[in-house]
């Protein structure tokens, strides 16, 4: 028998690799001869880049960059063990988490620090960059990032503008770096939203309020985003603004396509491809996934759907183990899950439940596999 494990984290209790360890222990309590393949998962958001680093055998590095308001901070990034792939999370340099509530203002913030990270790893000789763009504090269409890489944004008088949100509307010409031909580095961007760059569903109106923008700022930013798209089209003949995902991270989705020739990908698909999920399905008899809570939001999420789609295509049954199970059997069957169970075997408060995570996952996996093993 061969079982593939593909769980997400149990938030506050176990990270995804630890869930795999607990599941593996439960399986081997049934039989040490059962082959186990562990592919810990993430939904494209928090934890995704840590897992990419885990898969590549790499390590985190530290460097100094500018935060969204231009202050010097320490920021993490990752390099694979072979030094060929860099992992960057824009939130480390340009994230909302770096600002106090009263500092939030997308008119004044910039992705310059993210550009500094990209420049650093590019100059280190990497062949690939995987960039996560969730949790931004910015709405600058990536001009801050681009400025750190040598791009210039000029006003009507040919004067270089500071690359912040409020100056998007003032850009009349874009100059590419003098000594920067098209980069041979492959850049994939983990992007899990489908918003266009501007308009009522664009970067400013949808995400600007949580970054501190009032109504007047939203209008200015949206016009600025439209302007930068028009100027880029005028200067370089390419129109990316309405492509799904270009509105992600305050328009950084657009910026990575325009200034880095990057490819936008769903975070889940990127992770599944990175760990060779499909290749690992060979001769698998069962897939076990899981996460802290399975509810209606889970059913609509991209992780479970990504796994169940591939399991269904390969005609492999899939089971799920979770902390809280809050969906009906019919709802589970509709997305392709044949069996699901909670790890909680008695009433307990949240604190105790979090501590019980490893034991609970191990035991629930044992009961499931033991039942199947006897059939």
What CATH number is attached to the domain comprising 338? Answer: 3.40.50.10350
287 in the same domain as 250: no
Q: Give the pLDDT score at 181.
A: 46
244-253 pLDDT, tens digit per residue, is 999 999 999 9
Domain containing residue 300: 2-41+276-374
366 in the same domain as 217: no
* pLDDT of residue 155 exceeding 50: yes
Largest CA distance in the chain: 79
The CATH number covering residue 67 comes to 3.90.1510.10
178 in the same domain as 315: no
Q: Does 271 reside within a domain? A: no
Q: Give the pLDDT score at 183.
A: 53
* pLDDT of residue 182 exceeding 50: no
User: What's the rounded mean pLDDT across residues 190-216?
Assistant: 94
Domain count, the chain: 2
Q: Give the pLDDT score at 180.
A: 55
Inter-residue contact 88 to 77 (CB < 8 Å): yes
Structure tokens at 141: 């269409």
List, in sequence order, the alpha helices (H) in 208-247: 215-236
Average pLDDT value over all residues in the chain:
93
Q: Does 270 reside within a domain? A: no
Q: Give the pLDDT score at 153.
A: 98
Sequence-ordered list of residues with C-beta below 8 angstroms from that of 227, at least 6 positions apart, any chain: 168, 169, 171
Instruction: Write down the pTM of the prediction.
Output: 0.85
User: What's the rounded mean pLDDT across residues 128-154?
Assistant: 96
Q: Give the pLDDT score at 236.
A: 96
| Of 203 and 299, the one with more pLDDT | 203
Q: Does 143 reside within a domain? A: yes
* pLDDT of residue 144 exceeding 80: yes
172 in the same domain as 150: yes
| Strand order from edge to edge, sheet including 35-38 | 35-38, 2-5, 286-294, 318-325, 337-342
* pLDDT of residue 199 exceeding 70: yes
Nearest Cα residue to 101 out of 204, 211, 206: 211
127 in the same domain as 246: yes
Question: Which of 53-67, 204-218, 346-360 is least confident?
Answer: 346-360
157 in the same domain as 59: yes
């Amino acid at each position: 028998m061969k079982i593939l494990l593909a769980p997400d984290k149990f938030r506050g209790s176990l990270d995804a690799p630890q869930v795999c360890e607990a599941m593996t222990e439960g399986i081997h309590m049934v039989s040490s001869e059962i082959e186990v393949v562990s592919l810990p998962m993430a939904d494209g958001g928090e934890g995704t880049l840590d897992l990419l680093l885990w898969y590549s055998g790499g390590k985190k590095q530290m460097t100094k960059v500018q935060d969204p308001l231009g202050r010097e901070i320490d920021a993490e990034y990752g390099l694979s063990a072979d030094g060929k792939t860099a992992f960057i999370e824009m939130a480390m340099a340009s994230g909302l988490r770096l600002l106090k509530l009263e500092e939030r203002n997308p008119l004044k913030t910039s992705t310059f620090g993210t550009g500094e990270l990209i420049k650093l790893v590019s100059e280190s000789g990497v062949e690939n960059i995987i960039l996560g763009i969730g949790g931004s504090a910015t709405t600058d269409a990536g001009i801050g990032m681009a400025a750190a890489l040598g791009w210039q944004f000029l006003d009507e008088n040919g004067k270089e503008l500071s690359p912040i949100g409020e100056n998007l509307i003032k850009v009349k010409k874009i100059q590419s770096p003098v000594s920067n031909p098209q980069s041979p580095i492959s850049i994939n961007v983990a992007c899990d939203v489908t918003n266009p760059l501007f308009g009522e569903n664009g970067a400013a109106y949808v995400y600007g309020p949580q970054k501190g923008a009032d109504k007047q700022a939203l209008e200015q930013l949206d016009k600025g985003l439209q302007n930068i798209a028009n100027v880029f089209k005028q200067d370089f003949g390419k129109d990316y603004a309405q492509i799904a995902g270009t509105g992600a991270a305050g328009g950084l989705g657009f910026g990575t396509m325009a200034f880095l020739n990057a490819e936008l990908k769903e975070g889940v698909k990127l992770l599944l491809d990175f760990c060779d999920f499909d290749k690992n399905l060979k001769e698998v008899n069962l897939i076990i996934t899981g996460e802290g809570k399975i509810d209606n939001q889970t059913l609509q999420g991209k992780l479970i759907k990504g796994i169940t789609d591939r399991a269904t295509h390969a005609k492999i049954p899939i089971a799920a183990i979770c902390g809280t199970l809050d969906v009906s059997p019919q709802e589970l069957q509709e997305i392709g899950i044949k069996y699901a169970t909670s790890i909680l075997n008695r009433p307990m408060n949240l604190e105790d439940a979090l501590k019980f995570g490893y034991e609970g996952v191990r035991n629930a996996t044992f009961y499931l596999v033991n039942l199947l093993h006897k059939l």
